[in-house]
Structures are given as structure tokens and as C-alpha cells.
Amino acid sequence: MIDLKKIPKTEFASAVAQIAGERNIDIQVVIDSVQSAILAAFKRDAREREEEIDEEAEYRVLLDPETGETKILHMVDEKEVDVTPPGFGRIAAQTAKQVILQKIREAEKEVLISQFKNRVGTLVTGVVLRIEGPQVVVSLGKAEAVMPKEERVRNEHYHSSQRLAFYLKEIREEEENKVIIVSRAAPELVVELFRREVPEVSSGAVEVRRIARRSGERTKIAVFSNRPGIDPVGSCVGQKGVRVQAVIRELNDEKVDVIPFSENLNQFIRSALSPADDVEIAEIDKETRRVVVAVANDQLAMAIGDGGENVGLAGEITDCEIKVVGKKEPVEKEKVDKEKVSKKEKESREKPSEKEKVDNKKVSKKEKKAKKDTVGKEEDNSSDPV
């Protein structure tokens, strides 16, 4: 191990310090890379000269910190022997240069990857560099990231130099190489956008309890706050909808429903089915979490959504299997009742009541008596003498 503090300010030392400063890597990494490169160059040079090298033998590179001159030492009988070949120069130096640059690039990338490891799960802004088949390569400044096909939004179109917000999903190891993976389809992207646009969310005063998303189409986000005086939905929507509109613009006009979270499952289901109104819970099985809700016929299409989108997201965010049915129209019942009343009235008109029957009998008796009296008078008049 070279003591860096004792290295004098020579041309070699200055060059090493400059490389380390420009690449933002540790000086010791540069020194180790130089030593590895010299050893690799020595073995390659020996093979070209058709010399046998014991791969298991121990070799060490002695680096002069003042001049940068190197020597190859070989351990023989517990003694180090200088085995530096004569003219160990041009070819070996070229090989060493290539290995040094490769090691420096690897070290630089490792530093960048370690920096982005701390930012996994956060929002980053990037610029689209190019489209490579189904993948999109994104510039994050000094580093490049990849957005795979499954992390793309189906109805979004990407082009070079396009600036977008991404969710930094993970650092993935692929074929001995570490790749930064970003996403536009992740539900967490919406959460992070609200964290950026809504101070109450970033401070923790408003919590995002649940979220369900169909990227590019619609997102439902349930928010909650236990602090008095704070309206979680109002905070996320903002005055005249300015905050939620900022999120919608970033999502290329994807619909976003902000709903209040509730521990009361019935209430939470009603909120989740917004923008449909007047939702009634007809049946609910809390064990199987199967729910049947009834809405007015004019709200049925809104509750179900295009292709079952709204009810599907509502079921996802509430963790329930929701079935939407239409309410029975009260007009039909009124019609039946009116028909029954009309029938009774008709029957009552056709069939006289008992009182009417009695009255009719009395009238009939009076008429008969009056007729009889009239007939008797006429007979008396005819019997009188002229």
C-alpha cells in the first residue's frame, strides 16, 4: 500500500491527482488501477515473447511515487526478485494505458451507481437520449438510466431531448453490469409527484395511504390526515385545482381521483367509486370482501367506467371485489300502485255499496207505494156518477 501523504508533488503524482479529481474517485483507486494495468501488461508481453509464466506465482508491482517508474517483483524462495523485462516500454505502456482507462471508467461508474443507490424510490428528472428497441435510454446528468418496456406508459410517445419526471425504481445487475432502472408506469411516480407539488404531503401532514393506477388512463389515490384543521383532499387538489392539475400535466393528462381514506369500509367504497354519486351498499361480505353496490341508472356507466376501469380501480384500492348494479326504478312501483287504485275505483263504481243497496230498496218501496196510491185514486174517480 502506497502512503499517499508521502508522495511528493511530481508530474506523475499531479497527473494521478488530476485524474482522481476529474473523475470524482479516490486516489488510491487510481494507483491500484495503474498497478493492475502494469501487471496485466507484463503478463501479456511475456506471452508475446513466448515465455512461460506461472499464473499461480506471486507477482508484485513496485511503483515509484516520484517518477511513476515501475518494477515487477517475483517472490522466489521468500525473496523478491526483479523480473522486469528489458525494454518494458511501448507495447506494455499502451496496454497499461487501456487497462487504466477501463479501470477508471469502471471506478467512475461505481461511484455514480453508489450515489444513485441512495436515491432509489425517489423522483428524478431526466432527458430521453435515444430509443433502443423496446427500451428508452435516459440521461440523468453524468449517469445513464434505462426504462424497460414494462415501465413505459402504453399511450405515451417518447422522443430524443424530451425532458420528463421518472421514478427511480432500482439498481439492477445485468451480465456483471449494474443498470439504473427508471419508470413512468409505476404508481409510486404519482405519489412522488404529489410529494413534490403538495407541501403537506412532503412534510407528512397528509399521508398517502393507498393508490391504484392504470398508467396512462386513470389513478385513484387515497389520502388521510389526523391533524386538526387539515383537509387532506383539499390540500392535494389545491386552490382551483392547481396542485392536482400540475400532477395531471406531468402525467400527460392521465385522470387522477383524490379520495379520502376511511377505516369504515362502506364509506371508503362509496368514495372509491367517485365520480359516481348516491352509491348504496346492497350486500357486503367482509370475510371474502365481496361487495354489491347499487347506483341510479343514470350513474351506472360512470360507476363502472370505460371498460370497467372505475370499478376495477375502486376494487383495487379498497381490496374488494365490487359488483355494480342499477337501482330498481321507483316509477314502476308507483305505476303498479296507481293501477291498483284505478281498478278498485272502477270496481267500486260498478258494485254499489251496502248503504247504496239499502237506499235503493227504500226508494223502490216509496215508488211502488206512490204508484199504488195513484192507481187507487184513478179507480175512485171512475166510479163516481156523472
- CATH 2.40.50.140 for the 123-183 domain, yes or no: yes
- Residues 255-263, mean pLDDT to the nearest whole number: 96
pLDDT band for position 336 (cuts 50, 70, 90): very low
Q: What is the pLDDT of residues 17-43, one digit of tens each?
A: 777 777 677 777 777 877 788 888 788
Q: What is the CATH number of domain 198-261?
A: 3.30.300.20
Q: What is the CATH number of domain 268-327?
A: 3.30.300.20
**Residue in 127, 251, 157 with CA at minimum distance from that of residue 196:** 251
Q: What is the pLDDT of residues 39-94, one digit of tens each?
A: 887 887 777 777 777 666 778 887 776 666 777 888 777 788 877 777 665 655 67
pLDDT band for position 386 (cuts 50, 70, 90): very low
Alpha helices (H) along the chain: 11-23, 27-48, 90-117, 187-197, 199-203, 232-237, 242-250, 265-272, 300-304, 309-318, 330-350, 354-383
Higher pLDDT, 70 or 349: 70
User: Is 189 exposed, middle or buried, given 0-12, 13-18 or 19+ CB atoms closer than 10 A?
Assistant: buried
Residues in the chain, how many? 386
CA distance 331 to 351: 30
Higher pLDDT, 193 or 91: 193
Q: Would you state the pLDDT for residue 12? A: 65
Enter the pTM of the model: 0.67
- Angle 53-55-60 (CA atoms, 0-180°, nearest 5)? 90
CA distance 145 to 348: 87
Q: What is the pLDDT of residues 113-130, one digit of tens each?
A: 888 888 999 999 999 999
Same fold, 123-183 and 268-327: no
Q: What is the CATH number of domain 4-117?
A: 3.30.1480.10
Is 282 within 8 Å of 315 (Cβ atoms)?
Answer: no
Q: Would you state the pLDDT for residue 180? A: 93
Q: For the chain, which residues make up each domain, given as ranges?
A: 4-117, 123-183, 198-261, 268-327, 332-371
Q: Would you state the pLDDT for residue 196? A: 96
SS3 332: helix
